[in-house]
Structure 1
Amino acid sequence: MKQKLIEPRLTEYLHRKASRTKTPISGTFELSPLCNMDCKMCYIKMSKEKQESIARLRTKEEWIELAQKAKEKGMLFLLLTGGEPFLVKDFKELYIELHKMGFCISINSNGTMIDEDVIEWLKHYPPMRINMTLYGASDETYERLCNNPKGFTQVTKALSLLKENNIQVKLNCSVTPYNKDDLKEIISFAEEHDLIVQATSYMFPPLRKDETKIGQNDRFTVEDAALYEAYISAYSNGFDRFKEYIESGQLVLYDADDDCGVVEGDHMRCRAGITSFWMTWEGKMLPCGMIPDGGLDPWEVGFDEAWENAKKIVSEITLPVKCAGCGKKDECRACAAMVYTETGTYDKVPQYRCEMTKNYPEACKKVLKELEQQL
């Protein structure tokens, strides 16, 4: 089992090459905010009634039209997400059409709707990868966190079907107060099934769903967020490697992307608005799905103008000067989206992430001591 996906060198090379010309080589299509689960910390899920009051869902034909425009501008990698994409009307037809266009497609899914019927067509048009979130190790946990009393049973069935048909799966795990006791079992489950799992105890404030939730979510206290990040590292790496990790003194909150960072006077340093874009379900092209506003509608203004605007958003972002002088900036790795969702601006220090970083070394030592006592 690996804790983190290692990107193929060719993919990294293509992104680096695209960054020189700011070619949108990678795109995300957020097809809908609707989901068959109701996870307490979700940043986007809403009811059908609320969705309809905000905007209509885009049609299969509109997404195909956008994909064609994006392909002409260089898009190769495409992530389909939601909500739950398998819940979307005409998703099968849309996916197959996009697959035939030659994109390297990944799908974000909770896995509960992947059954024999879905596998029957998916195996003929396999995605590059399905990113599946594992929310617990029992149906009881799924009911507590996701309001789905059959979730774990559905997901384990889906994983078996996917594995039988050689479809690559990566597991994600959002660790919260509602599933924390399952963490060790989740990581053991991934190891047993030889799956990559990437877990984090940091939950973004859901500003995309509720603009009043700046710095708020149904999540851990800062101290517990740091503690469970330490448990993630310990359970993923095993005692000996975890001990070596602590002794190295390089205690980094790895859950942020490797190419994110906070540097005085610097702009966002991830791929958002450089080689990648995020299309929201209501029709805004954003550099990043966690940045809540500022995007233009490519169906109205055209792909080129919407992409230029996404790049402009990124070019105008400068992260907090205060963070530049912090000795823990390399351990923290706060990204622009964290800064904005935690504070409502790009000028202020993201206090939750900051305090989480400060608590992390002691949390690691506490977990190590606990594990030593169990030997």
Structure 2
Amino acid sequence: MEMSSVSAPITKYLTAKAVSQKIPLSGIFELTPLCNMNCRMCYVRMNREEQEKIAPLGTVEQWLKVGKEARDSGMLYLLFTGGEPFLRKDFREIYQGLYDQGIIIEINSNGTLIDEQTVAWLKEVPPQRINITLYGASDVTYGRLCRNPKGFTQVSRAIRLLKEARINVRLNCSVTPYNVDDLEDIFAFGRREDIPVHAVSYMYPPVRRDASSVGVNDRFSPEEAAYHDARIKAYSLGDEKFLEWADRNKNILPEMNDDICGEMKAEGVRCHAGRSSFWITWNGCMVPCGMFRGEEEHNVFREGFTENWKRVLEETARIRLAPECGVCAQRDLCKSCAAMEITENGKFGNIPEYRCQMVKAMPDAIKKVKQEILEERRKCNE
């Protein structure tokens, strides 16, 4: 869980200490799988009937009890997510109860339900940040991807209300075949509103929503994802800085080949998941990462926080990743992780091939974007 508004040295120090002492420094509470939109690539979204067949939603009292136990165990940072958290009529009670405990809170939201009344109470008890996913730059795109033909109008209004209230906002963007034509306009929107945009073109297979979707999602080919990742870099930096970056990093990837150098040894989890952070699903299952499928027999509402945190620590420590990835020259760029292995392969220990192919396509993707920028400049100068 990223807390960029806290200074990086402090965050790194606290996280390193938390990992070494097995402290759950940061947590994610997934309050609901329900959402007022129905995005094509979503990994968790359910309707009410589907949700009720599995379990009831956690109550205010249950979430506040777990939150207190987590705080007492060392949790400092908390992210609320869903589904759409603001869809819960009791969200304010949950938020206020944990805010009053001194926890640093962020909220993930699609933004479409945030109105003047919502902003008024958030202004009184402001979160550290609200992360709004911007799925497009028009209502047409929202209709195509999210099945909400008024989505852009709703979210752009919410963003301006939050800005007027001086509530910190960041824009996230999941780039898919259904909204890729809006990518440049999404970054332009961010610049106009003076809000940073964090976009990604890699989409995890939604195994939590559908167990049969291992390795499958409504997403780009690996090569297309690499190209749009390079495009994201260009829009983030601006053309001039991207060209400088591309020239400075001509050898961003070592020579691609099938030879693996060094002794292969399976590594454990490298990120913070299950080591200093945790995720609690809407029905009370604690998992290291939200991409993992939880097991109902391990329920934090029934068993409490402490026992489940111990279990997650033990289970995470037993995970071993693909040994080839541990000695791959591209590992720092690839950032292949346990979540990719389990969603792409259905198990740990094997290379997530989609991600591997995407990374191998990056050099050509960067060259292509560079050539497109230079060609556009040439045409403008004619």
Which residue does 1:127 correspond to in 2? 127
Amino acid at match of 1:200: V
The SS at the match of 2:231 is helix
The SS at the match of 1:49 is helix
1:350 pairs, out of 319, 338, 352, with 352
Alignment of 1:323-342 (within 5 A): 323-342=325-344
Cα distance in 2 for residues equivalent to 1:279 and 1:136: 29
Which residue does 1:62 correspond to in 2? 62
Which residue does 2:294 correspond to in 1? 293
Which residue does 1:16 correspond to in 2? 16
Shift, 1:242, TM fit: 1.3
Segments of 5+ residues of structure 2 without an aligned counterpart are 254-263, 378-382
**Alpha-carbon contact 1:187-1:197 (below 8 Å) kept:** yes
Which residue does 2:80 correspond to in 1? 80
Task: Return the TM-score normalized by structure 1.
Answer: 0.93
Shift, 1:293, TM fit: 3.1
Which residue does 1:257 correspond to in 2? none
**Alpha-carbon contact 1:245-1:251 (below 8 Å) kept:** no
Amino acid at match of 1:175: V
Alignment of 1:48-59 (within 5 A): 48-59=48-59
**Alpha-carbon contact 1:5-1:196 (below 8 Å) kept:** no
Which residue does 2:148 correspond to in 1? 148
Shift, 1:250, TM fit: 5.5
Shift, 1:56, TM fit: 0.8
CA, structure 1 residues 264+167, in 2 after alignment: closer, same or farther (shift >3 Å)?
A: farther
**Alpha-carbon contact 1:104-1:127 (below 8 Å) kept:** yes
Shift, 1:6, TM fit: 6.8
Which residue does 1:107 correspond to in 2? 107
Q: Is the deviation greater in 81-90 or in 321-330?
A: 321-330
Q: 1:266 aligned to 2:267?
A: yes
Structure label with greater radius of gyration:
2
1:321 pairs, out of 306, 315, 323, with 323
Shift, 1:97, TM fit: 1.3
Amino acid at match of 2:112: T
The SS at the match of 1:349 is coil
CA deviation map 1:193-214 (0-9, x unaligned): 1111110000000011111000
Which residue does 1:31 correspond to in 2? 31
Alignment of 1:227-242 (within 5 A): 227-242=227-242
Which residue does 2:257 correspond to in 1? none
Cα distance in 2 for residues equivalent to 1:81 and 1:239: 34
Q: Is the deviation greater in 36-45 or in 310-319?
A: 310-319
Which residue does 2:259 correspond to in 1? none
Shift, 1:365, TM fit: 0.5
Cα distance in 1 for residues equivalent to 2:4 and 2:370: 25
Task: Return the TM-score normalized by structure 2.
Answer: 0.92
Shift, 1:251, TM fit: 3.8
User: Structure 1: which 4+ aligned runs deviate by more than 4 Å?
Assistant: 4-7
How many residue pairs match? The answer is 362
Identity %: 50
CA, structure 1 residues 277+221, in 2 after alignment: closer, same or farther (shift >3 Å)?
A: same
Shift, 1:87, TM fit: 0.1
**Alpha-carbon contact 2:267-2:323 (below 8 Å) kept:** no
Shift, 1:294, TM fit: 4.8
Segments of 5+ residues of structure 1 without an aligned counterpart are 253-262
The SS at the match of 2:163 is helix
**Alpha-carbon contact 2:66-2:304 (below 8 Å) kept:** no
The SS at the match of 1:112 is coil
1:370 pairs, out of 369, 372, 377, with 372
Cα distance in 2 for residues equivalent to 1:212 and 1:80: 27
Amino acid at match of 1:282: N
CA deviation map 1:243-285 (0-9, x unaligned): 2222213548xxxxxxxxxx83321111111111100011111
Cα distance in 1 for residues equivalent to 2:160 and 2:5: 23
CA deviation map 1:332-354 (0-9, x unaligned): 11111011100001121101000
RMSD: 1.5
CA deviation map 1:87-109 (0-9, x unaligned): 01311111111111111000000
Cα distance in 2 for residues equivalent to 1:7 and 1:183: 28
**Alpha-carbon contact 2:281-2:294 (below 8 Å) kept:** no
Shift, 1:53, TM fit: 0.6
Amino acid at match of 2:267: D
The SS at the match of 1:212 is helix
**Alpha-carbon contact 1:294-1:313 (below 8 Å) kept:** no
Which residue does 1:259 correspond to in 2? none
